[in-house]
Amino acid sequence: MSYEFDWSAVWDPSAWMTAIGVTVAYGVATTVAGLLLGLILGLLLVSRIWIARRAVSLFIGVFRCTPALIQIVWFYYAFPMALNINMPAWLAAGCGLTLYMAAFSAEIFRGGIQSIEKGQWNACRSLCMSHWQTMYHVILPQTFRRMTPAIVNQSIIQFKNTSLLSVVAVHDIMFTASALTSETYRPLEVFTFAALLYIILIWPMASIAHQVERRFDYRSSR
Amino acid sequence: MSVNFIEVRSLRKTYGTTVAVDDVSLTLEEGRTAAIIGSSGCGKSTFLRCLNLLETPTEGSMRIGGDTVTFANDKMASGEDQALRFRKSMAMVFQSFDLFPHMTALRNVSLAPTIVNGLKREEAEGLALKLLERVDLRHKADAYPGQLSGGQAQRVAIARALAMNPRVLLFDEATSALDPELVGEVLAVIKDLAKEGRTLLVVTHELAFARDVADTLYFFDQGRVLESGKPQELMSNPQTERLRAFLKRFQGPLNS
Ligand SMILES: Nc1ncnc2c1ncn2[C@@H]1O[C@H](COP(=O)(O)OP(=O)(O)OP(=O)(O)O)[C@@H](O)[C@H]1O
Ligand SMILES: [Mg+2]
């Protein structure tokens, strides 16, 4: 018996447009916020303040070792309850995912910063540059270049992870696909289409990042 | 009477049970060049790094011009207020160049004058161009370190050190990482600086260079200064077996 495709089930432009907007918004916002927070945490990880290092390590341990799905659900339901605060639902939903990204990118930045040759620090210190001047002008620019592949990789994972937000009723691509499926009983068409949307959104991002990476490659410019 | 410009007294640096620098005293007059020789692991780099405050000495005192810093128990005991001026009065050139790979030669040289000394960007770049000119690399101002030969990279590093207008230049085996045919161009720059009346402290394995350029030669052995004096005298008439053996091993380069 062969399956008969019925692509008309997919036809709901306005729902998909909204869904794309929501996915892109969450993808960009939680990735950017997560990277910024991750950078700060990464800097704390290599700082000389041991209490900060310990606290950040603990945070990273917790957020790297629990599923993103649990973090999302927990922040959506438990966090506002535990602190007895009124958090807008959209923010609560994004929080878990942002911290998840922050935990992973903090490790990327830490590794990147520590991979820069000791000689760079010596040279800067000998030139009387301060710790933060060295970090800002010399260490971080090299870290970003060196870590671009890892950062892009993590951002792509993050972008796809926004699909998990559908469990807390964020109307993203995944949520819309599920809703359409229960309406039309056409999971194959609907989810294939959803997958295509993710590819169309993420692929260009990845290839742009790859080009940026090549532009950065001053080492092989000899 | 000439007053010593640099005066190091009883400097000691230990790492756990390893004694890297052991009771080293050294003096140098302004405008003079001292060369430090000695076999691998005898504490030459550690000594320079202590002087540049890249490492905190365990004990001892160091004076440059009017600024004195003293150390006890791996901490600075006095001279905290003079430490920055002390450090600013010298700049170091490293064996591994350690240029900033993401910046052009020009920016490598002009960065510290801009952010440390507060020069305007145009001023700093003007200064950088002048210094690149004098190491014969003005045409490489826009090149990245990855596009330079080892000898060129080291000359940029020298320009970078000069840009801070230091009163003393420290060289830690500045030519050891270079292909033999590139050593000459870097030594020539150092030689010029010595002739110009800069105060230089040069750690080197180039004995012929040390003999021709240095006013004073220090022979380090196991963290100590075993012999010091005029290079010719030391080399032609070593007083210790250690120095004799050391010179013998390096006889090749001396005769060349
Ligand atoms: N950070 C450090 N921790 C522990 N030991 C060190 C450290 N730096 C140097 N040492 C030790 O101190 C001693 C002197 O080292 P140093 O690098 O000053 O020698 P060097 O004379 O410069 O040798 P080379 O000619 O190989 O450069 C060595 O025994 C070395 O192992
Ligand atoms: Mg050394």
Task: Find the A137 Cα to ligand 1 centroid distance in Å.
Answer: 29
Chain B hits for A137, CB-CB cut-off 8 Å, are 100, 111, 115
By the CB < 8 Å criterion, does B15 face chain A? no
Q: Residue A218 pLDDT > 70, yes or no?
A: no
Q: Residue A220 pLDDT > 50, yes or no?
A: no
**Is the beta carbon of B41 within 6 A of some atom in ligand 1?**
yes
Tell me the shortest Cα–Cα distance from A213 to chain B, in angstroms: 13
Lowest mean pLDDT among A3-7, A18-22, B150-154: A3-7
pLDDT tens-digit map of A66-103: 999 999 999 888 888 888 888 888 888 899 999 999 99
Instruction: Find tokens 């040390």 and name the residue.
Output: B210
Please count the CA atoms within 13 angstroms of the CA of A104 that sit on its side-chain side: 24
Q: Which long-range CB contacts under 8 A does A9-15 form with residues at least 24 apart? A: A9/A180, A9/A184, A9/A186, A9/A189, A9/A190, A10/A180, A10/A186, A10/A189, A10/A190, A10/A193, A12/A176, A12/A180, A15/A176, A15/A179, A15/A180
Residue B16 CA, closest ligand 1 atom number: 4
The pLDDT assigned to B4 comes to 86
What ipTM does the predicted assembly reach? 0.93
In 3D space, the residue among B217, B215, B166, B158 whose CA is nearest the CA of residue B189 turns out to be B158
**Is the beta carbon of B40 within 6 A of some atom in ligand 1?**
yes
Q: Which domains can be identified in chain A, with CATH numbers?
A: 11-221 (1.10.3720.10)
The pLDDT assigned to A213 comes to 78
DSSP chain A: ------GGGG--HHHHHHHHHHHHHHHHHHHHHHHHHHHHHHHHHTSS-HHHHHHHHHHHHHHHSS-HHHHHHIIIIIHHHHHT----HHHHHHHHHHHHHHHHHHHHHHHHHHHS-HHHHHHHHHTT--HHHHIIIIIHHHHHHHHHHHHHHHHHHHHHHGGGGGGGT--SHHHHHHHHHHHH--HHHHHHHHHHHHHHHHHHHHHHHHHHHHHH--GGG-
State the ligand closest to the CA atom of B38: 1
